[in-house]
Copies of this chain bind each other. A is one copy, B any other.
Amino acid sequence: MVYVTRRATFSASHRLFNPALSDEENEKLYDKCANPRGHGHNYVLEVTVAGKQSERSGYVIDLKILKQILETEIIRKVDHKHLNEDVDFLKGVIPTTENLAREFWKILEPKIPVGTLCSIRLSETENNSVEYRGE
Residues of A within 8 A of B (CB): 1-9, 11-14, 16, 18, 20-21, 29-33, 35, 37-42, 48, 53, 56-60, 63-64, 67, 79-82, 85-86, 93-94, 96-99, 101-102, 124-133, 135
Contact = CB atoms under 8 A, between A and B. Distances in A.
Majority secondary structure of chain A interface residues (helix, strand, loop or mixed): mixed
B81 A35 contact: yes
Given A41-B41, A56-B29, A98-B53, A2 B131 contact: yes
Question: Shortest 7 CB-CB distances between A and B: which pairs?
Answer: A40-B40, A13-B13, A37-B82, A13-B40, A58-B96, A32-B80, A58-B94
Nearest to A49: B130
Given A57-B96, A96-B59, A9 B125 contact: yes
A57 to B, nearest CB: 6
A41 B38 contact: no
Given A57-B29, A98-B53, A81 B130 contact: no
Nearest to A21: B56
